[in-house]
Amino acid sequence: MMALQTEPHLADLLPALRGRVQRDARLGPSTWFRVGGPAEVLVRPADVDDLCTLLRDMPLHVPVTIIGAASNLIVRDGGIAGVVVRLARGFGDIVIDGGGIIAGAAALDAVVAEHAAAACLSGLEFLSGIPGAVGGAVAMNAGAYGGDVASSLDWAEIVTRQGDLLRLSAGEIGFSYRHSGLPPESVVVRARFFAQPGDASAIAARMAEIKASREATQPVRARTGGSTFRNPEGARAWELIDAAGCRGATRGAAQISEKHCNFLINTGGATAADLEGLGEDIRRRVHAASGVTLQWEIKRIGIPAPGLTVVA
Ligand SMILES: Cc1cc2nc3c(=O)[nH]c(=O)nc-3n(C[C@H](O)[C@H](O)[C@H](O)COP(=O)(O)OP(=O)(O)OC[C@H]3O[C@@H](n4cnc5c(N)ncnc54)[C@H](O)[C@@H]3O)c2cc1C
């Protein structure tokens, strides 16, 4: 009898790696929103060399998606085709470096801020309130309370889709508001931030102030993704959403936060389609009320559930 020919699984097309390779890996539980379908293949490279091997030796047509702490993402219910790369151990080192700090891409922003504070270095207090990791902070030009990555980054090291390790200066990355011009499918692996010698108690006070302000104004303990929409030129997204009567609006178990109406929340059991669908409802209602078309700040990635109209 003739043996049946089966297509090789994508995981079988990858080079041998020292890190973990998982097929049909659930992503939802490790995202802030707790929603989303599986990754076709999830790779956690052991270190930079392993990542270079993966990207250099896997077929170029396979799409690559990078996930950090997943605090700014909606992973859609249909999951993500191709390879999802998540950096973990091996990318978390933080080193004080003269008038600056070098951090691996998987180091949490808040931990970088704590290391800087412990070394009496100021200028990075803004990172203390951002729940992502360094790679995501560079990719998103994260910022808060008067600071942002664009104005504090010295350089970032990336691995390109071809598997080459490059060091780019902040100027070469091309930052704009909550956006970076990193090459497509490249992975940030390390970054150096500038910081200045400062007074320990002033740094601690600034970080405490940021924490208190966030707790008072944002649903920081909810299943959320931070600011949903960018602030349009000369306006604030939350004010437009409030004025359109959308504070507290729901769709399934997705809700616009009562506390901060530019935050979407999974109140329990929401799907990615509920969250994205509610976001699209809000965009329509804000447009009808004010003429302004809100732009998503949260990244929505993966394959939509059937029936959902996706707007870029
Ligand atoms: C409660 C709450 C409050 C927030 N407050 C703020 C705030 O004040 N200011 C602010 O700017 N943001 C805020 N955010 C949003 C979010 O924390 C930031 O955008 C953060 O920088 C995202 O980092 P991450 O590691 O979670 O990235 P992810 O959400 O995992 O990914 C975001 C994007 O970055 C890309 N990416 C991630 N890692 C890498 C990497 N290593 N290399 C290349 N690309 C990568 C992903 O592909 C994706 O496009 C908030 C979020 C929450 C939940």
- pLDDT one-digit tens code per residue, 180-215: 999 999 999 999 999 999 999 999 999 999 999 999
Catalytic residues: 178, 227, 297
Per-residue pLDDT for 306 more than 70? no
User: Confidence band (pLDDT; 50, 70, 90) for 2?
Assistant: low
Ligand 1 interacting residues, C-beta cut-off 6 A: 32, 66-73, 87, 105, 129-133, 135-137, 139-140, 142-144, 178, 187-188, 218, 220, 224-226, 299
* Digit-coded pLDDT (tens) for 81-138: 999 999 988 999 999 998 899 999 999 999 999 999 999 999 999 999 999 999 999 9
Nearest CA to ligand 1 atom 40: 135
Q: Using CA positions, which residue lies closest to atom 28 of ligand 1?
A: 70
pTM > 0.85: yes
Q: Which atom of ligand 1 is nearest to the CA of 218?
A: 1
Q: Which of 51, 140, 217, 238 to mutate to test the pocket of ligand 1 (most atoms within 8 A of CB)?
A: 140
> 3-state SS of the chain?
CCCCCCCCCHHHHCCCCCCEEEEEECCHHHCCCCCCCCEEEEEECCCHHHHHHHHHHCCCCCCEEEECCCCCEEECCCCEEEEEEECECECCCEEECCCEEEEECCCEHHHHHHHHHHCCEECCHHHHHCCCEHHHHHHHCCEECCEEHHHHEEEEEEECCCCCEEEEEHHHHCCECCECCCCCCCEEEEEEEECEECCHHHHHHHHHHHHHHHHHHCCCCCEEEEECECCCCCCCHHHHHHHCCCCCCEECCEEECCCCCCEEEECCCCCHHHHHHHHHHHHHHHHHHHCCCCCECCEEECCCCCCCCCCC
**Which residue lies with its CA nearest to atom 10 of ligand 1?**
142
5: pLDDT strictly greater than 70: no
* pLDDT bracket for residue 249 (50, 70, 90): very high
